[in-house]
Amino acid sequence: MADKYKDIAAKIVENVGGEQNVDSVVHCATRLRFVLKDESKANKEALESVDKVMSVVRGGGQYQVVIGSEVNDVYTSINNNYNVNSNGEAAQDNTPKKKSASGALAVIASFFTPYIGVLAGAGIVMALVNTLEMYDVITKTSLTYVMLTAISTGIFKFLPLFIAITAADAFKMNRFIALAIASAMVYPLVDPSIGELVFKPFGYNVDFNKYGGAVVPTILAIWVTSYVERFFKKIIPAAAKIVFVPFFTLLVAGVLAFLFIGPLGTLVGDWISKVYTYAYDLNPLIAGLILGGLFQLLVVFGMHWAILPIAMINIDSLGYDTILPVMLIAVFGQVSAVAGMIFRLKGKDKEVAVSATIAGFFGITEPALYGVNLKYKRPFIIGLIASAVGGAIVSYSGVTSDTFSPILNPLYFNFFMGENSNFTALVIAFVITIAIGMIGAIMFGLPKPKQTATATTTQAKAETTVPAVAANTITSPLTGELVELKDVNDPVFSAEIMGKGFAVIPSEGVVTAPVDGEVIILYGTQHAIGIKSEQGIEVLIHIGINTVELNGEFFEMTTSTGAHVKRGEVLGKFNIEGIKSKEYDTTTMVIVTNTADYADFSFAQTTGAVKMNDAIVTVSK
């Protein structure tokens, strides 16, 4: 697809002094925020004449180009077409900022967002190939099989290469050094002579053949590499950096990846497999419960490869295996959860959920995991619970498989119909797993807005005084002092470049919905929320001035993109004193970003004390 913003991006880059003049560029809800090496090289007048550019502002050490609602598209075009950071470094950290371990899985999921559709498409091709081969439509030596297998399997085998790019951007390091490290990790997959070698330099195995497709080891390796690279950048003279920074970084980080990071993942996986074997011998129900509940988590961390060989050994020695039935159930725990999320999500995420469900039916869970379930966390946990229940049932009931396959789906049910298996129990467990996953995701997949005691009290009080306003009336999302936009200490908002509206200096750190509608965007830094009303009014709530620079600190939004909200519903909270302690203005702007669609703005009040849900302005065409 043609990049319709390419010409705009070209003119912007040219008029900020060219890509060589750009130290970095990020974007917030409305602006491209450049850090320029020499601001005198920028042409403000020329920039303001560029299509989509509303204004140009200097402030906070940044050269800010105001775009509006299309800022992300323009930023993406700039990032795709220009090397706007020296040495190929990333221009922006798009990784969700998480302050606790609970956010780790969401961070991992963020590395897959740019190419989740490719994963889904390849997964469906892979499932199609396996199905055609299983029913003898094609053979493993046929041209069709070989071609489609290469097309579908390549991205999964060499997944670390894709991860390297997004992880490098997140950790702000050179993409090509990251790719070199990831390439080293997957190289043994293309050289069988190396892949078959196992070393014991420190008393534990260094198995080069276990890194291909492993997610977490790759992310950890790139993370470590980013620190190694920064270290050598500091100590190596500028004249020698172009060669010796990559040289020493690859040498040190590569050794760390092979000798410590990879083996650590393998070691953990080996111990999990031993625990499972012991637990199954002791109590099949508990073993199935544990493995079912953990299997897809092991997939994320690349540790499931330590368990699959046990399944192969069991089939070779016993003629049947008890792990594969649990694996099948674990797959559909996540698939059923993402299927349930189809009924809860909107827009692009809903489209991802649909395609992930299709791929998941054929046994490919990566699109479900990384496209939806890990991103929202709740569906992932619900899927694990469903899998734990189903896994306990199949293990306790003696369900077995007499054929090995690393990918399982309902088309392979005949694997579980052997004389040593309880196929009826498998069907029952399958249905129960899907029911728990789907119903659980539909009911609990997205959180209801959290309310602290203060927020609950405030909202309850506000709800009793919500005026019977017209649907096209915008109410105050905050309690505080109402001020006119022209008095806001930000020229972009005060000049109404972004649109007409009002501002509130908040006295309470609770923000509510000013209209009935859908949350169309919640920025990762949580300082800005976009809502489209049921009548089509697009309202931007921008909490504070330049608060994007806080990177989410002091903000705790409890809504999410795609959520349907009612006027007065709590969207989240923010710490007013915390924001002020960092010397940021807490004035909150409420802007109608599609102002051009409305001819009249009738204000009920323009200044003075205001309470949450007070009627402020009515718009009409």
Residue 573: predicted pLDDT: 92
Q: 608 CB contacts (<8 Å, ≥6 apart)?
A: 481, 482
Domain 6-84 identical in fold to domain 469-620: no
The CB density around residue 443, as the number of other CB atoms within 10 Å, is 11
* Greatest mean pLDDT among 28-32, 370-374, 536-540: 536-540
* Better-predicted residue by pLDDT, 134 or 244: 244
* Better-predicted residue by pLDDT, 420 or 573: 573
* Better-predicted residue by pLDDT, 542 or 351: 542
The CATH number, out of the four listed (3.40.50.2300, 2.70.70.10, 3.40.50.720, 3.40.50.970), of the domain defined by the range 469-620: 2.70.70.10
Residue 128: predicted pLDDT: 82
Q: Which residues are known to be catalytic?
A: 28
Residue 117: predicted pLDDT: 65
Q: What are phi and psi of 294, to 5 degrees?
A: -110, -15
Mark out the alpha helices in 417-500 (DSSP H runs): 423-444, 453-463, 491-494
- Helix 323-341 to helix 347-361 angle (10° resolution) is 150
Mark out the alpha helices in 283-408 (DSSP H runs): 284-300, 308-318, 323-341, 347-361, 366-368, 374-376, 378-396
- Residue 430 backbone zone (phi > 0: left; psi -120 to 50: alpha; other: beta): alpha
Among 41-55, 74-88, 499-513, which stretch is predicted with the lowest mean pLDDT? 74-88
Per-residue model confidence as pLDDT tens digits over 382-420: 999 999 999 999 999 999 998 777 678 887 787 898 888
Whether pLDDT at 453 is above 50:
no
Residue 475: predicted pLDDT: 94
* Better-predicted residue by pLDDT, 540 or 70: 540
Whether pLDDT at 105 is above 70:
no
- pTM for the structure as a whole: 0.48
pLDDT band at 443 (very low <50, low <70, confident <90, very high): very high
Per-residue model confidence as pLDDT tens digits over 201-233: 777 777 766 655 566 678 888 999 999 999 999
Whether pLDDT at 124 is above 90:
no
3-state secondary structure of 15: helix
pLDDT band at 607 (very low <50, low <70, confident <90, very high): very high
The average confidence (pLDDT) of the chain is: 82
Site of tokens 């750009």: 22
Per-residue model confidence as pLDDT tens digits over 482-529: 999 999 988 888 888 888 999 999 999 999 999 999 998 887 788 999
* Domain 6-84 belongs in CATH node 3.30.1360.60: yes
Whether pLDDT at 77 is above 80:
yes
* Better-predicted residue by pLDDT, 100 or 271: 271
**From CA 333, how far away is CA 368, in angstroms rounded?**
11
* Better-predicted residue by pLDDT, 101 or 55: 55
Could you tell me the residue ranges of all domains in the chain?
Answer: 6-84, 469-620
Whether pLDDT at 450 is above 60:
no
pLDDT band at 471 (very low <50, low <70, confident <90, very high): confident
- The answer to whether the beta carbons of residues 187 and 263 sit under 8 Å apart is no
Residue 130: predicted pLDDT: 75
Neighbour-count burial of 101, counting CB atoms closer than 10 A to its CB (0-12 exposed, 13-18 middle, 19+ buried): exposed
Whether pLDDT at 452 is above 50:
no
Per-residue model confidence as pLDDT tens digits over 135-155: 889 998 999 999 998 998 888
Residue 109 identity: A
**From CA 395, how far away is CA 430, in angstroms rounded?**
13
Residue 211: predicted pLDDT: 59
Whether pLDDT at 250 is above 50:
yes
Residue 91: predicted pLDDT: 37
